[in-house]
Amino acid sequence: MSNTLILAAALLATTISPAGRDQTRTGSRQIEAMSRATGQGRSEPEEFAQMNNHESIQAVGHSQASSHQRAHAEATVTVQNSQAEPFDQSAEPALNEVHLTETFAGDMDGESSVRAFQVRLNQEYASLVSMQRFHGKLGDRKGTFVLQGSEVVENGSIKATWFVVPGSGTGELLGLRGEGGFAGEFGKGSKATLDYWFE
């Protein structure tokens, strides 16, 4: 029943004769019952409040679904073997290509093959950029992912930052994102960290 018809019935109830008031009350109750059944009797504020509540629930659900919980991993990195060969000797400083195999022990448990390009300015200082694919476990998940790094070697020590290449995770590490780095001294291993999450 339309709002116009309900309004007309209400106006009729205010102008009807005293003798017919009982019949009018009965008709009014029937109109109210029909209004509740069809949903026409809800006021605009009530409908607006219900709509807002529904939208609030949707917003909370979306916020919870889009949040990413971070975890922190630590590991010891040991270089098992390394090999350097000239890449570009046409000018100074020379560019070298470095191949390494590393093992990880700790929250990161596995191994990786590393390819790096090195600029060696002198016997004490070098700068590198690297790519490596990690095979193993991160926490309680198993799979592979690629780390892109930037390293500086100075006076027998190395310090690096790295991040997980987006989209490189496989297996149980699908959707992995993260960033961290490592530091250490040659011949003594390096301490690595990775703060990571999943998308």
Which helix (H) or strand (E) element contains residue 189?
A: none
pTM of the model: 0.66
What pLDDT, on a 0 to 100 scale, did the predictor assign at position 90?
A: 95
Query: Residue 145 carries which side chain, given as an amino acid letter?
Result: F
Average pLDDT, the chain: 78
**What is the C-alpha separation between 163 and 63, in angstroms, rounded?**
25
pLDDT per position as a tens digit, 113-167: 999 999 999 889 999 999 999 999 999 999 999 999 999 999 999 999 999 999 9
Identify the pLDDT of residue 65: 30
pLDDT of residue 123: 86
36-89 residue pLDDT tens: 544 444 455 454 445 444 444 343 333 333 347 999 999 999 999 999 999 999
Cis preceding-peptide flag for 45 (omega within 30 of 0): no
Instruction: Name the CATH superfamily housing domain 71-198.
Output: SO1590-like (2.40.350.10)
* Residue pLDDT, tens place only, 20-49: 444 445 444 554 544 454 444 445 545 444
Q: What pLDDT shows up at residue 188?
A: 84
Could you tell me where in the chain the CATH 2.40.350.10 domains are found? Answer: 71-198
Q: What is the pLDDT of residue 67?
A: 43
What pLDDT score does 103 carry? Answer: 97
CA dist 160 and 151 (Å) reads: 4
> Residue 91: exposed, middle, or buried by beta-carbon count in 10 A (0-12, 13-18, 19+)?
exposed
Q: What distance in Å separates the CA atoms of residue 27 and residue 175, rounded to the nearest whole number?
A: 64
36 or 90, higher pLDDT: 90
Distance from C-alpha of 137 to C-alpha of 115, rounded to nearest angstrom = 21
